Structure formats: C-alpha cells, structure tokens
C-alpha cells in the first residue's frame, strides 16, 4: 500500500471521524489535515506523553550548501524551514564550527572591531539569523545540517514528507483534533487512548539504530570482573 495522499486524508476524515459533518469545505478539511501533520512532525509532547529524544524522522534531516559567510557581517539568514540546526561546517577551511549560547556570544569582545575579524570558529542561532564569532572577514562556503519543518500539503496528490508508516497516526491525530474542534469530547477521548497506545509501540522504531551503536561499543558482559570492574 502506497503513501496516503492529501485527498485520501480528507476522505478518511469525513468518512470515519466526522461522519455527521457534510458542511465542511475542502479548504477546512485540508487545514485539519495539515494541522495534524505539522503537529505530528514538530511537537515533542502529546497529552502528557513525551516523545523520546531518539524519536526522529530521517526524511526531515537535510543540509543547505548554498550559504556562505559574508565579509564584515556578523550573521547570515538561517534556512527558512530550519526547525533546529545541529551542525555547521566551514567547507572553505574544512572544519566544524562550535555551537555556543547567545550569552557566550554576547560576552565575546572584538565583535565590532575590524582588526578582530577572521575565520569564524563559533556560531549561535538567534531568531532567523545565525551569528558567527569572530565576525567573518571573508566569504567562506558553509554546509548547514538541520532538521526542517515540512511544507504543508496543498495539491490533492501530495503526500507527507515522512515514511508512509506514519500515515495512520497522522490520520488518527487529525480525527481527534477535528472531534475536539466540534466538541465531540467522548469520542475524541476514546480515539486519543487508541492513538497513545499506537504511538507507544512506535517510539522505539528509530531508536534501534542508536541501540545498535551503543551495543557495538559496550564491553561484553562475559569479560566483566564483578569485584574490580571490566578487565
């Protein structure tokens, strides 16, 4: 079975969740679907259930290689769809820049002194900008590694940017949100319980890779000396 299209999301919403609502426009139904989709891919807590840090979407991790530092300018504009930035690589000098806090950046001296400009070694994101220290004195090519906010679906044939295995949770979440909007509280509560149960079994899916990496580097228990630690 292939990925569910926006049109199919809307149809399922009216067929299973809003069976008594035939007055909703296509635009309204699309808004319900996109609200659930964006919430699902950007939130880290639902009704008290906190999403584990390891729960992630590989399809939303991307890079931007089109940006460069600007000589004599302390900042550049961050990618418009960047939800979180994990790393910045200075391709010109073949080195990784260190991420610092805004407080650390503000305390740095020489940020406005031309004589102190040079190749940046640190960065911090503030609002829609990425600030560098030292202030760049040349154009250095950058690679920005980040987690993006997916674009909303608009055309009937559009599908989500993540794996089709998440279509069912998104569909159910969409129905719950619609039920809450129209004060169908009892039914929404039953669906919410089903959604939480469904998700509790999926949260560990991507964590398998992390566990594999940890297991590879952990000492084998067979070599443990319980009196003096590992040999």
Distance between CA atoms of residues 24 and 10, nearest Å: 10
CA dihedral 177, 178, 179, 181 (to 10 degrees): 90
Distance between CA atoms of residues 231 and 224, nearest Å: 6
Q: Tell me, yes or no, whether 42 and 73 share the same domain.
A: no
Q: How many structural domains does the chain have?
A: 2
Distance between CA atoms of residues 136 and 70, nearest Å: 7
pTM of the shown model: 0.82
Q: Tell me, yes or no, whether 200 and 179 share the same domain.
A: yes
The per-residue b/e assignment along 83-95, b for 16 or more CB within 10 angstroms, e otherwise, is eebeebbbeeeee
Q: Does 210 fall in a domain? A: no
Distances from the Cα of 230 to the Cα of 94, 215, 217, 224, angstroms? 38, 16, 14, 4
Q: Does 44 fall in a domain? A: yes
pLDDT value of residue 56: 77
* Exposure of 55 in the CB half-sphere (CA atoms within 13 A): 17
pLDDT value of residue 210: 55
Q: Tell me, yes or no, whether 10 and 81 share the same domain.
A: no
Q: Tell me, yes or no, whether 72 and 48 share the same domain.
A: no
CB 179 within 8 A of CB 171: no
Q: Tell me, yes or no, whether 77 and 129 share the same domain.
A: yes
* Domain extent for 129: 58-148
Residues in the chain: 231
Q: Does 51 fall in a domain? A: yes
Strands 75-77 and 82-90: unpaired
Helix (H) or strand (E) run with residue 39 in it = helix 26-42
Q: Phi and psi (nearest 5°) for 230? A: -80, 140
Q: Tell me, yes or no, whether 65 and 143 share the same domain.
A: yes
Q: Does 75 fall in a domain? A: yes
pLDDT tens series, the chain, 231 aa:
579 999 999 999 999 988 878 889 999 999 999 999 999 999 888 877 676 655 678 999 999 999 999 999 999 999 999 999 999 999 999 999 999 999 999 999 988 899 999 999 999 999 999 999 999 999 999 999 999 999 999 999 999 999 999 999 999 999 999 999 999 999 999 999 889 888 877 766 655 555 555 443 444 444 444 444 444
Q: Does 224 fall in a domain? A: no
Q: What is the DSSP string of 172-218?
A: HHHHHHHHHHTT-HHHHHHHHHHHHHHHHTTTTTTHHHHHHHHHHHS
Q: Tell me, yes or no, whether 24 and 12 share the same domain.
A: yes
Q: Cα–Cα–Cα angle for 170, 2, 180, nearest 5°? A: 20
First vs last Cα of the chain: how many Å apart? 51
Q: Phi and psi (nearest 5°) for 55? A: -75, 110
Q: Tell me, yes or no, whether 115 and 72 share the same domain.
A: yes
CB 63 within 8 A of CB 69: no
Distance between CA atoms of residues 82 and 61, nearest Å: 10
């Amino acid at each position: 079975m292939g990925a569910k299209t926006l049109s199919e999301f809307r149809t399922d919403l009216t067929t299973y969740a809003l069976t008594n609502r035939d007055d909703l426009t296509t635009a309204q139904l699309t808004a319900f679907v996109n609200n659930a989709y964006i919430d699902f891919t950007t939130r880290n807590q639902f009704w008290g259930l906190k999403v584990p840090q390891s729960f992630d979407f590989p399809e939303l991790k991307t890079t931007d290689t089109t940006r460069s530092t600007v000589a004599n300018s302390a900042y550049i504009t961050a990618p418009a769809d960047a939800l979180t930035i994990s790393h910045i690589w200075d391709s010109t000098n073949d080195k990784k820049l260190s991420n610092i806090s805004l407080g650390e950046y503000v305390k740095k001296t020489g940020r406005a002194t031309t004589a102190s400009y040079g190749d940046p070694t640190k960065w911090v994101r503030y609002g829609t900008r990425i600030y560098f220290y030292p202030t760049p004195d040349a154009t250095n090519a950058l690679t920005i590694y980040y987690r993006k906010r997916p674009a909303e679906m608009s055309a009937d044939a559009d599908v989500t940017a993540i794996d089709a295995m998440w279509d069912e949770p998104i569909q159910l979440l969409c129905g719950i949100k619609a039920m809450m909007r129209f004060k169908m509280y009892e039914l929404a509560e039953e669906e919410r319980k089903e959604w939480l149960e469904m998700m509790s079994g999926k949260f560990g899916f991507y964590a398998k890779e992390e566990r594999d990496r940890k297991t590879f580097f952990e000492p084998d228990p067979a070599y443990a000396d319980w009196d003096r630690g590992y040999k």
